[in-house]
Amino acid sequence: MPQPSSVLHDLWQRGCAFLGTDLAIMGGAMSWVSERHLVAALSNEGGFGTIAAGSMTPDLLRNEIQATKALTRKPFGVNLIMMHPQLDALIEVCLQEKVTHIVLAGGIPSALSIQKIKNGGAKVLTFAPTAAMGKKLVRAGADALVIEGMEAGGHIGPVSTSVLAQEILPAIRDVPIFVAGGIGRGEAIALYLKMGAAGVQLGTRFVCATESVAHPHFKQAFIRAAARNAVPSVQLDTRFPVIPVRAIENEASKRFMTKQRDTIARFDRGELTKEEAQLEIEHFWAGALRRAVIEGDVETGSIMAGQSVGMVTREQPVAEILAELVAQAEEQLGQG
């Protein structure tokens, strides 16, 4: 694993101490991609892997945690989605399996959920969309915050990483903050650390890791893509909200536009209720990410990717990716 210089070590020491790692680089939780193999590889090479629980049942999550433990003795985390109907059961599984860090994503967690995790002995990371919300989450007991800009892949918010960093890093010092969204090189890591971040979280950069189980077609889509190809899904009518998801444009992106137009027209003609129309639009993407990641259907599947996808140029082992990021960060710091 790469050995950071004293300057880099000092800058991200708070993040390393919090995660229990040599490098304050977290792996983003990407459904179907962030499973045992990639998670264990990241942790074994000095970073911090995070299992994407996604829509897993408690039993499936338990199996994934145990399988990850069989591949690494290093710390790793589990990312739980707030809207999961079995959230409490998933938290309980994590605590029973002695997971050290739990990331609560996809919404604002309750103080009750945060305290349940802390009482169970794990550390809690939450996503902060604003400085005010970040302070509220810290008061509720969050041990660390992640700030993720709209450059990220998957479900995104409306504000860029650079703006979030400028708003939140100077305002919150009580807990470690990890910056995410659009980070593909070590120079950016160094700059966010100098602004006060304790570490970073990267997802897109690790999709084409040798250890990633993503289908070769999915990886090739990443390698071919430029930053401008990773775009948010488009909402055609405010009456039918679409949660923006950043993904590489493909045939499915065009079909989604057509689906929205046809469904809205049917609603306007009185053929569908509003609820039926909304469900049809939302159901379009059901299973689409799995089709792309696991089955390799990159035409009708969803190729979720951040804008840093343009910096993914080949398949590489995790160790090599981390070594590159550390070298780039150190070069940037040496110029300061």
Say if residue 277's pLDDT is above 70: yes
217's CB contacts (< 8 A; 6+ apart) are 292, 296, 297, 298
Taking alpha carbons only, the member of 98, 106, 110 closest to residue 129 is 106
Using only C-alpha atoms, what is the Rg of the chain?
Answer: 20
Give the pLDDT confidence of 103-145 residue by residue, as tens digits: 999 999 999 999 999 999 999 999 999 999 999 999 999 999 9
For residue 286, what pLDDT is reported?
85
Cα separation, 103 vs 101, whole angstroms? 7
Q: Count the residues in the chain.
A: 336
Give the pLDDT confidence of 134-187 residue by residue, as tens digits: 999 999 999 999 999 999 999 999 999 999 999 999 999 999 999 999 999 999
Taking alpha carbons only, the member of 220, 235, 200 closest to residue 292 is 220
The domain ranges of the chain are: 6-212+313-334, 226-304
Token pair, residue 57, equals 């049942």
CA distances (Å), origin 36, targets 30, 105, 131, 255: 12, 19, 33, 33
Fold of 6-212+313-334: TIM Barrel (3.20.20)
Pure H helices in 49-139? 58-69, 87-96, 111-119, 131-139
Give the pLDDT confidence of 196-213 residue by residue, as tens digits: 999 999 999 999 999 999
